[in-house]
Amino acid sequence: MAADPSAQRPGTPPPRLRPHTRRQPWILTYHSVTDTGDDPYGITVSPRRLGEQLSWLRGRGLRGVGVSELMRAHAAGRRGLVGLTFDDGYADFLQEALPVLRVHGCTATVFVLPGRPGGVNEWDPLGPRKPLLTLEEIRRVAGAGMEVGSHGLLHQDLTELSDEELRHETVRSRELIGELTGVLPEGFCYPYGTFDRRVSAAVGSAGYGYGCALAPGPLISRFALPRTHVSQADRGVRLWAKDLRHGLRHGAVPGAGSRSGSPARAGGPR
């Protein structure tokens, strides 16, 4: 159902000319930050390009923060923030992304896989294999002031799991991250962006405060936050177009999803 009565009223100009003032905050999705030479899934952005993108955001009055901070600020009516998320917990976050974030005064949410510490992205059938954060490195990410969230234990399509397996992926990953960082994570991110009502309900039951999707469509809610995938190709004009598109699509208030029970799966990466 439509949630924002001011949106798309016939005869009135588009309401999202200043997208960062929208009611649905903007959250960007990154994965790996390193050299982009071999990148069949388009999940890698170079450190230099990340810096350019953060500069572009700052030029528009937006500073990158983790999703928990973004949600709190948004609820308090504070604007001028954009969510930065890094999925899969690639080890390059510490060496490549973190220094760039610091230069730009940003923080971020890193969604890690505590069931694959020090492993690789085996779930991608094509290479290249990219190392994942070890347990000690996850601790360092938290110690650096970043929000650590859960991407489940093993990067599985949660809609295909039994209730018991689903509970293990959500509850156990939360416990493990809590043991590592001393803070039970507030955020969960659906592997592949895939979820349905059963999965998002399990995330809520596990104690998380929000869930990140990619393109949740009508299932949009606090447990299915839309995000925008950012690629190496995204520079000023392309980012502006993505910002505007997000504002037009997701001006709705979180929690106003439809009753559709079909899984939402993004066509984009991972």
Interacting residue ranges for Zn ion, rule: CB under 5 A: 87-88, 191, 270
**Which is closer to Zn ion, CB of 89 or CB of 254?**
89
CB of 184 to Zn ion, least distance (A): 21
> C-beta of 57: minimal distance to Zn ion in Å?
23
Shortest Cβ 80–Zn ion spacing (Å): 28
SS3 81: strand
Cα–Cα dist 223/202, whole Å: 10
| Min CB(89)–Zn ion separation in Å | 9
| H or E element, residue 187 | strand 187-189
Type of residue at 182? G
Q: Least Å distance between CB 146 and Zn ion?
A: 17
Nearest Cα to 109, choosing from 73, 74, 77, 151?
Answer: 151
* Cβ count within 10 A of residue 119: 18
CB nearer Zn ion, residue 39 or residue 88: 88
The overall longest dimension of the chain from CA atoms, in Å, is 56
Residue 33, phi-psi category: left (phi > 0), alpha (psi -120 to 50), beta (remainder): beta
Cα torsion 69, 19, 218, 109 to 10°: value is: -30
- The dihedral through the CA atoms of 262, 24, 83, 41 has a sign that is positive
Q: How far is the CB of 17 from Zn ion (least distance, A)?
A: 33
Least Å distance, CB 167 to Zn ion, is 20
Amino acid (1-letter code) at residue 116:
R
Q: Distance between CA atoms of 99 and 85, rounded to whole angstroms? A: 15
First-to-last CA distance in the chain?
Answer: 28
Q: Considering beta carbons, is residue 15 or 191 the nearer one to Zn ion?
A: 191
**Looking at beta carbons only, is 191 or 226 nearer to Zn ion?**
191
Query: Nearest residue to Zn ion, using CB?
Result: 270
Q: For Zn ion, give the closer residue by CB, 88 or 196.
A: 88
Peptide bond connecting 128 to the previous residue in cis, omega within 30 degrees of 0: yes
241 contact partners, CB below 8 Å, separation of at least 6:
none
Nearest CB to Zn ion, comparing residues 87 and 196: 87
43 or 98, CB closer to Zn ion?
A: 43
Residue 92 corresponds to which amino acid? D
